[in-house]
Amino acid sequence: MIAAAFLAMLKRDVRLALRQSTDLGMILGFFVIAASLFPFGVGPNPETLARLAPGIIWVLALLAVMLSLDRLFQSDWEDGSLEQMALAPAPLSVIVLAKATAHWLTACLPLIAVAPVIAVMLNLPAEAYGVLLAGLALGTPTLSLIGAVGAALALGARKAGLLIAVLVLPLYIPVLIFGVTAVDAHLTQISVSAHFLYLGALLAAAAPLCPWAAAAAIRHSVG
Amino acid sequence: MHRFANPGRFMRVADRLQPWLLWGGLALLVAGLYKALLDSPPDYQQHDTVRILYIHVPSAMLAQGAYIMMALGSASFLIWKHPLGDLLARSAAPIGAALTLVCLITGSVWGKPTWGTYWVWDARLTSMLILLFLFIGYMALANAFDDPARGDKPAAILAVVGIVNIPIIKFSVYFFNTLHQQSTLFRREGPSMPPEMLTPLLIMFGAFTCLFLWLLAVRLRGEFAKVRLRAIRAGLVRRAETAGRRRAPAGGPVEEGAG
Amino acid sequence: MRRMGDAPALFDAVALTCLRGRRLVFEDLAFRLDAGGALMLVGPNGAGKSSLLRVLAGLIEPLSGAIRWDGEDVTADREAHRARLAFVGHLDAVKPAFTVRETLEVWAGLFGAEAVSAETLDAAMDAWGLDALAHVRGAELSAGQKRRAALARLMLQDRPLWLLDEPTTALDAASVATLERLVAEHRGRGGLVVASTHGGFAMPGATVLDIADFQAEAA
């Protein structure tokens, strides 16, 4: 029953996100447009841009993920769907996990797909692409999970979108650090296995804990 | 007044302790400042700048203590549903944030003559900065709801999530720092410290602790007053409604429009 | 309300006290229902009808007291309790981007232990006159149509306990009659109904509970 509920929820959220693909387009648009501002800000020197590229891509990915978080629970909360989900026989944390997975598939995966375009724009050395994308693939699920906690906590608050940013961004710092330093390390011929292990450890810790905390926050918000 | 909104014995103890904490704290502060500023030797390397540490270190320790207290209060609120835990956390947060800010400012003032710059992305400074962000997040969330009581549980969950994250954040920040900074710019006082410096530091720590607890008691009383005020207001609204209803003929299901 | 020595009721509550935020909504509330029973919640605005329904659904934790199903506290197995109830609240849980049929499919998938057959879905839509609207998206529905879609959820699963919070809001007379008929059929099968109302909705033989009787004294 738990697996069935997980799949039903996952399917529903993915379908909903695809129906409202304009939202997804806007997030990708933000990612690319914001990245193209940096050459104007720091100058078009390819070496400077290459040095900054991993950091810019990661920070913008973080911000783009954060901007997409409000659709995770907010509209379901407003129209009463979340209340019904809280009443489903399956544990709410499983439903939250399904929603976070759907968020990753529909918000993070497209960002990872677009990241190479930005990497080209910012002149990232070719040998760094693999590590950058692998880091994003391993780090962004954690962002979705932590983001689910932030989005759930902000339900019903004034200025929920802004509040999510204040709550979630400090908690994103570890993922950012390991993701960016992995690329830097790779470019200076240092082994990146430690970085990936830490990113994996963060994901392994977030996968059970975040749905649980988010579920507690949702139970409160629908009570 | 409902028994769960009743401050009870805890507040009476806090009230009795309050003057002791205030005057004890002030006395310790005077003694500590005298020791720290006049009656302790300047560091052979840092000269008189070292005296900032007598404010910097106690505020850093108490700021972290305040976060721990906030998280423990929040956890007790979540587990035992004890409203005191929530009020304690709400009271501790702004004090902790202020102490973190004091720590950051004194650190940066100390950094200018020592490192030649006001800000360095040193692991310790960075993790204190993130601690400040966590305090800000907590306070923002606790006060983000139109019905203040709605914010209790989300804020408590955030405090607990934060305390789980602090070691992870600290670890990652140290990791980041060791990669970016080849030579450590400075070593803290280290394991050994001359007693003429340790004594004023301990006195100052005592003074800060007393004043922290005093401020906490003051703020706690304020939070209790807010809760009581809300309860009284709700009671007044209810009474007005009941009175209005008595005037109108009632009984059985009241026929009104939907909603 | 419960007397000693009685056989346990199918669904009952004792000494239920509910605190919302820091406000006491009702105190020492009790009722009992047996198979086929119905409870009609009445009382002025803000008295706590919605709160009681949400407490019964498990959305709000009562401060004290117990809710029992077949004599067993529902907190002992929350998932089992959630699996035996259907709740229709003020909000319809209809997504603007999904058609009526998709909406019902989604809820069927999330609530059901087994896949809900197409016939059950058709029957649910038929009962509420939603056939014509099956492929209309939620965004284009009127308030009454959305409400009917929400009430059609009741037909998807065979849940013994229906919790309805002012179910007739936005419904026309014909739909109210449908609801009354479906509630009567549900009770005929031994099901239970707890519903709040401001009037205009009849459940013959229902116990009437005025929440105002359990209001805490103002502070």
Buried b (16+ CB within 10 A) or exposed e, A10-49: bebbbbbbeebeeebeebbebbeeebeebbeeeeeeeeeb
Residue A144's SS3 state is helix
Give residue C164's identity as a one-letter amino acid code.
L
Between CA B61 and CA C73 the distance in angstroms is 47
What was the pLDDT predicted at C115?
Answer: 66
B109, A135 Cβ separation under 8 angstroms: no
A115 vs A191: which has the higher pLDDT: A115
Q: In this structure, what DSSP letter does residue B40 have? A: S
B237: closest CA of chain C, how far (Å): 9
- Tell me the pLDDT band of C219, cut-offs 50, 70 and 90: very low
Do B157 and A166 make contact, defined as CB atoms within 8 angstroms? no
| Cα–Cα distance for residue pair B170/B180, rounded to 1 Å | 15
Q: Does C85 touch chain A (CB under 8 A)?
A: yes
- Nearest to A180, CA basis, from A69, A59, A68, A99: A59
* Optimal mutation site among B121, B131, B157, interface A, most CBs of chain A within 10 A: B157
Predicted confidence (pLDDT) at residue C218 exceeds the cutoff of 50: no
Q: Do B241 and C169 touch (CB under 8 A)?
A: no
Q: Which residues of C touch A88 (CB under 8 A)?
A: 82, 110-111
B-chain residues within 8 Å CB-CB of C166? 258-259
* Residues 88-117 of chain C whose Cβ lies under 8 A from any Cβ of chain A: 89-98, 106-107, 109-113
ipTM of the complex: 0.89
- Residues 6 or more apart whose Cβ sits within 8 Å of residue C11: C32, C33, C37, C67, C68, C69, C70, C161, C192
B22 near B215, Cβ under 8 Å?
no
* CATH tag for C35-58+78-210 (out of 2.40.40.20, 3.40.50.300, 3.40.50.2300, 3.40.50.620): 3.40.50.300
| Local confidence band at A159 (pLDDT 50, 70, 90 cut-offs) | confident
| A121: pLDDT strictly greater than 60 | yes
Average of per-residue pLDDT values in chain C: 87
pLDDT band, residue A63 (cuts 50/70/90): very high
More confident residue, B123 or A119: A119
Is the pLDDT score of A83 beyond 50? yes
For residue C7, the model assigns a pLDDT of 62
Sequential pLDDT tens for chain B (259 residues): 344 445 567 777 778 888 889 999 999 999 888 888 887 777 666 677 778 888 898 999 999 999 999 999 999 999 888 888 899 999 999 999 999 999 999 988 888 887 888 888 888 888 899 999 999 999 999 999 988 788 889 999 999 999 988 889 888 888 887 654 443 334 444 445 677 778 888 899 999 999 999 999 999 888 888 888 887 887 777 777 667 666 654 444 443 333 3
Would you kindly state where each structural domain of chain C is located, as residue ranges?
35-58+78-210
∠ CA(C191), CA(C192), CA(C197), 5° rounding? 135
Do A79 and C98 lie within an 8 Å CB cutoff? no
Distance to chain B for C154, nearest Cα, Å: 22
Interchain proximity A80–C89, CB inside 8 Å: yes
What is the average per-residue pLDDT within A24-29? 93
Q: Would residue B36 be called left, alpha or beta, if left means φ above 0 and alpha means ψ between -120 and 50 degrees? A: alpha
**pLDDT given for residue B187 in this prediction:** 46
A172-191: per-residue pLDDT in tens? 999 999 999 999 889 888 88
Is the Cβ pair B252, C42 closer than 8 Å? yes
Please give the backbone phi and psi of residue B209, each rounded to the nearest 5 degrees, phi first.
-60, -45
Q: How far apart are CA A177 and CA A55, in angstroms?
A: 9
pLDDT of residue B179: 52
- Shortest alpha-carbon distance between residue B118 and chain A (Å): 22
pLDDT tens-digit profile of C106-158? 898 888 756 677 888 888 888 898 888 989 999 999 999 999 999 998 888 88
| CA C152 – CA C122 distance, rounded (Å) | 10
Q: Please, what is the average pLDDT of chain A?
A: 93
Instruction: Please give the structure tokens belonging to residue C56.
Output: 């019964």
Q: Is C197 on the interface with B (CB under 8 A)?
A: yes
User: Following DSSP, what letter does each residue of A122-136 receive, concatenated?
Assistant: TT--GGGHHHHHHHH
Q: Note which residues in 5-34 of chain C have CB less than 8 A from chain B.
A: 19, 21-24
In the block, residue with structure tokens 């989604």: C106
Say whether residue C173 is in contact with chain B using an 8 A CB cutoff.
Answer: no
Q: What pLDDT, on a 0 to 100 scale, did the predictor assign at position B33?
A: 86
How far apart, in whole angstroms, are the C-alpha atoms of residue A131 and residue A171?
22
